[in-house]
Amino acid sequence: QVQLVESGGGLVQPGGSLRLSCAASGSIFSINDMGWYRQAPGKQREGVSCIDSSDGSTYHADSVKGRFTISRDNAKNTVYLHMNSLKPEDTATYFCATSCAHAAGIVYYVGDPYWGQGTQVTVSS
């Protein structure tokens, strides 16, 4: 059984920064690509960022490219999402998952990954 626990969300002003964390239990972490996703009220879940398990390559959706950075610490079984220059349209619940892929500027998941419970990010003045 794999458990994912996100943290680090909160209220931030436009232009501000946050760092989200996703702590994973279970040995699956080191062999899985890990992704961050978000869902705003009334909208579909959207892929944000993806990090490869083998070489640490990272990929970001066009909507966050240049502002968000994904990283992982395999020793701590934790993946991070560093968010800078936040905009009101970044407001959403952010989830991590044990799957990600990328193509044509979008990030998406495949199969039936494990998901965390989510952490709320609100960007507002």
Token pair for residue 16?
Answer: 């501000």
DSSP category for residue 106: E
pLDDT of residue 28: 67
The kind and range of the H/E element at 60 are strand 58-60
User: Mean pLDDT over residues 33-49, rounded?
Assistant: 96
Token pair for residue 36?
Answer: 């961050």
- Give 108's pLDDT tier (boundaries 50, 70, 90): very high
**Are 100 and 109 spatial neighbours (Cβ–Cβ below 8 Å)?**
yes
pLDDT > 90 fraction of the chain, expressed in percent and rounded = 83
- Which residues does residue 3 pair with via DSSP β-bridges, in sequence order? 25
CB count, 10 Å around CB of 82?
A: 15
Residue with tokens 């709320």: 120
**Average pLDDT over all residues of the chain:** 94
pLDDT of residue 119: 98
Chain Cα centroid distance, residue 80: 7
